[in-house]
Every structure is written in C-alpha cells, then in structure tokens.
Amino acid sequence: MESRFWMVALPAVDGRQYVYRVYAPDDAVPADLFWDAWHCHDESPFPRASDLFDAAVIRRVG
C-alpha cells in the first residue's frame, strides 16, 4: 500500500475552516482521517474545530 495524503477540512467555532494534510494509505478509513486531523487541530492555538464527523470534508490528493 502506497502512502498518499488526504486533505481534511474542519469547520471551527470562529466560522473559519481549517485544512490539514493527513498521510495515510489509499484504503484509509474516513473516521481515522478525521480524528487524525481533529487531534492536530486540538493541539494548535487556533479556535476549536468542530468534532462533528459529518461537518468534515475529506479528499484524497495525489
């Protein structure tokens, strides 16, 4: 399995959308991609991202 990256966009409470690059194989489970991005955001100084899976936009790049 080749590792590619995925773009995961999370809406935040300030009305912005934060986008994260998550490296994972082609057969990655969307929920795992979401949680990887959400935990990256949780550690940042920016306003809190929504933890609603349905609000995330997940796309494979490459």
Q: Give the pLDDT confidence score for residue 52 in this predicted structure.
A: 87
Number of structural domains found in the chain: 1
Domain that holds residue 13: 3-61
Instruction: Mark out the alpha helices in the chain (DSSP H runs).
Output: 30-42
Q: Judging by DSSP bridges, how do beta strands 3-11 and 17-25 pair with one another?
A: antiparallel
pLDDT at 14: 87
CA dihedral (7, 41, 38, 36) in degrees, to 10, reads 70
Q: How confident is the model at residue 6 (pLDDT cuts 50, 70, 90)?
A: very high
CB atoms within 10 A of CB 56: 22
> Between 40 and 7, where is the model more confident?
7
- Which tens digit of pLDDT belongs to each residue from 9-45? 999 888 999 999 999 998 999 999 999 998 887 777 7
